[in-house]
Amino acid sequence: MQDSESWLARWQGAGLLNDATAAAIRAYEQTHAKPSSRRWQVFVALILGALLLGAGVLLFVAAHWDGVSPVARMLLVLAMLCFFHALGLLSRVRFAGFATAMHAVGTISAGAAIALVGQIFNMQEHWPSAYPDQPCGRATLSGAEMLFIPDRAQLPLPLKAGQELWVEVTLPPSGPPRPIQIAVSSADGFHPLKLD
C-alpha cells in the first residue's frame, strides 16, 4: 500500500487523478490488500512440504518394491507422475505456490520413473545389454587407439571364447576418444578391470 500511495500522490500532483478517484483507489486497495507478513512462512512450508511429500513418495515406492510386479511398478510410478502434475495444473489459478510444489513432486516422481526403467532393463547389472547394437550405446572403433595401462595391471588376455573387451571412452569435440575404464563382457556380466 505504501508503494501505491506514492504513485497516487505523484499522479494527483500531475493532475491525472482528482481527489474522489484517488480516494476510491485507496479504498479498493485497502479492502483487497493481502497480508505480506506471513508470506515467507507459507513459502518455507511449501518447500518443506514438497520435500517431505517427495521423500514419502520415494519411500512408499521403495517399501513396496519387492512385492510388486514390474508392470505394476511402472504403472504406479506413472500414476504418481500424472497425479502430482495434474494436481499442480488444477491448483495453479487458486494457489500458484502449491502448484509449483506439486510440479516439483511430480518431477521427483519422473526421476523415480527413469530409475525404474533402468532397473527393469537391468542397466545397472550389464549396461551394454540395455543398448543392443544402438549407435549411441555401442560403437566399434575403426582404427588403433592407444591405451596406457600400468605394467602392474592384470589383464585377462588372451580373451576366452564368448568374452569381449570393452573400453568406456569420452568423445571430445575433436581428437581421438579418451579412455575412462576397461572391462570384460561375458555371459555372466560386465566386469570392470582394476588397473591400479
What confidence tens digit (pLDDT) does each residue in 24-41 have? 888 888 887 766 566 778
Determine the angle formed by the axes of helices 2-13 and 19-32, rounding to 10 degrees: 170
Phi then psi for residue 143, to 5 deg, are 160, 170
Among 118-127, 162-171, 172-181, which is the least confidently predicted range?
A: 118-127
What residue segments make up the domains of the chain, in order of their start? Answer: 2-32, 39-120, 137-192
C-alpha angle 161-166-167 in degrees, rounded to nearest 5:
155
Q: How confident is the model at residue 133 (pLDDT cuts 50, 70, 90)?
A: very low
Phi then psi for residue 168, to 5 deg, are -85, 125
